[in-house]
């Protein structure tokens, strides 16, 4: 499986969150590594979100379905990203979203108690969580702005900046779904960028 001390999860929270080996031991009941198959759902709309998911390796997506069954991708979560439905967890309401693996992945399932307990153990971790929440709000605001006010070209360039490693990992229709445009429009944007070089 994964050597814990060599895992991205360990490095991420020890380097960024300041957690010590002793503190990780105290938190051991609140997280677990799991292998997840391609196309496996970790959360479905209508379910309560019970976990946050840290991507050790692989790739997840969060998306919603419209009334016709069309898929609208909210975000991608590659290695070292965390994805969950915070609203479902915080307000104890059924989720509006799906979270699914789009590559074979190793995922760390984080119980809500992990963040609470780690924050009580480490002031450094508590500050890191606060900073992460603010960064997440910032990213969501930029995402809303991009969908409301940016051109298709600007949205695509913003996507490339945020997800530089994903261009060869996800099919074009998924990128188009994330951008809120048709695959044909995405092809046109790519052609224009190549021609402009």
Q: Where are the domains of the chain?
A: 4-121
Mean pLDDT estimate for the chain: 94
pLDDT in tens, 148-161: 999 999 999 999 99
Cα gap 171→174, rounded to integer Å: 6
Q: What is the pLDDT of residue 139?
A: 87
Neighbours of 53 (CB within 10 A): 24
pLDDT in tens, 10-54: 999 999 999 999 999 999 999 999 999 999 999 999 999 999 999
| CATH of span 4-121 | 2.60.120.10
Check: CB of residue 36 under 8 Å from CB of residue 54. no
Cα gap 114→94, rounded to integer Å: 21
Single pTM value for the model: 0.93
Residues 6+ away with beta carbon under 8 Å from 15: none
Residue range 140-144: average pLDDT? Answer: 89
pLDDT in tens, 78-136: 999 999 998 999 899 999 999 999 999 999 999 999 999 999 999 999 999 999 989 88
Q: What is the pLDDT of residue 90?
A: 87
Residue 2 — pLDDT band, cuts 50, 70, 90? confident
């Amino acid at each position: 499986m994964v050597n814990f001390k060599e895992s991205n999860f360990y490095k991420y929270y020890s380097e960024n969150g300041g957690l010590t080996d002793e503190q990780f031991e105290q938190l051991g009941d609140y997280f677990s590594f799991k292998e997840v198959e391609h196309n496996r759902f970790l959360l479905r709309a209508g379910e309560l979100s019970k976990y946050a998911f840290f991507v050790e390796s692989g790739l997840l997506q969060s998306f919603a379905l419209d009334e016709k069954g069309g898929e609208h991708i909210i975000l991608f979560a590659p290695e070292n990203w965390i994805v969950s439905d915070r609203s479902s967890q915080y307000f104890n309401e059924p989720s509006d979203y799906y979270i699914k693996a789009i590559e074979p992945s190793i995922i760390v399932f984080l119980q809500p108690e992990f963040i609470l307990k780690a924050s009580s153990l480490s002031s450094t971790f508590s500050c890191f969580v606060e900073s992460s929440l603010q960064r997440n709000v910032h990213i969501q605001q930029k995402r809303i702005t991009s969908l409301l006010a940016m051109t298709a070209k600007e949205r695509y360039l913003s996507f490339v900046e945020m997800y530089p490693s994903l261009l060869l990992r996800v099919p074009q229709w998924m990128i188009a779904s994330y951008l809120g445009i048709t695959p044909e429009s995405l092809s046109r944007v790519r052609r224009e960028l190549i021609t402009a070089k």
